[in-house]
Every structure is written in C-alpha cells, then in structure tokens.
Amino acid sequence: MDFIRSIMVAAGGLKAQNSRMRTIAENIANADSTAQTPGGDPYRRKVSTFQSYFDREMGTEMVKPGRIVRDDTDFKTEFNPGHPAADANGYVKMPNVNTLVETMDMREAQRSYEANLNVIGATRRMVLRTLDILRA
C-alpha cells in the first residue's frame, strides 16, 4: 500500500508541475504581446498556484494544481510612437513578463517534475525487487 501511496503522491506532483510549466510557457510565448488597440493593456503574466488537500482514501496529504492567477504588477512602458498600440504620448504598454524570471521558474518546475519522476521510478524498482525476493 505504501508503494501505491508514494506513486500517487508523485503523480499529483507531476500534474501540478505540468500545469505550472504550461503557464510559464504561455507567459514566455506572450512576453512581447502588446495590446490590439492604442493605449490598451497588453498580455498580463499568469502565475500557477498549488492546492494541498488530504486524500482520505489514500490517507495522505496530496497536491494538485490550483487556480491560475494574474500578476497585478505594473506594465512596463516603451517609447515607440510608430507602434500601432502606442498611446497619444507615443508610449506602448509592454507585458509584465520578465523572461529571465520565467526561465528560472521553468527550470525549477522542470527539476521538481524530474524529482517526482525519480520517485515513481525508484518505487517501481522497489516493487520489482520485492517481487523478485518473493519469487526466490
């Protein structure tokens, strides 16, 4: 039973990190997306959250993807009077996405994802080894 529990906990972590990586990828893809209309708001960065809950069936604490929230930090402005989204003063609002931060978040999410995969792999090897011992 503990083997199944560890795999289920790791699988929950995989799902949560997968959701986080998708959100980060969307942020990176839209890092240069400006508004469609002059003076309008550009793409706003999104942040994934996690939700912790107790699974009564498994008898353990689990994690799952939570809500995706918008980052309310201010937009950057860039002077570019020829841009279609420029306001009356020639400034264009740029997304509040910092690609360096997103890249570091992606690296962290990737490592957490890999750690959960390693837990599943180690558990699988333990189960196979236990079966080999029982057969002998």
The answer to whether the beta carbons of residues 62 and 10 sit under 8 Å apart is no
Which residues, 6 or more positions from 30, have their beta carbon under 8 angstroms from its beta carbon? 43, 95, 97
- 60-82 pLDDT, tens digit per residue, is 899 999 999 999 999 999 999 99
Model pLDDT for residues 89-107, shown as the tens digit of each residue: 999 999 999 999 999 999 9
User: Residue 37: which pLDDT band, with cuts at 50, 70 and 90?
Assistant: confident
pLDDT for 7 equals 93
Report which of 94, 90, 91 is spatially closest to residue 35, judged by C-alpha positions.
94
pLDDT at 1: 56
Range of the domain at 89: 2-135
- By percentage, how much of the chain surpasses pLDDT 70? 99
Is the CB of residue 47 less than 8 Å from the CB of residue 71? yes
Cα-trace Rg, the chain: 22
* Tokens coding 66: 């939570």
| Higher per-residue confidence, 1 vs 48 | 48
Confidence at residue 99, expressed as pLDDT on a 0 to 100 scale:
96
On whether the pTM is more than 0.75, the answer is: yes
Number of domains in the chain: 1
In the chain, the amino acid numbered 17 is: Q
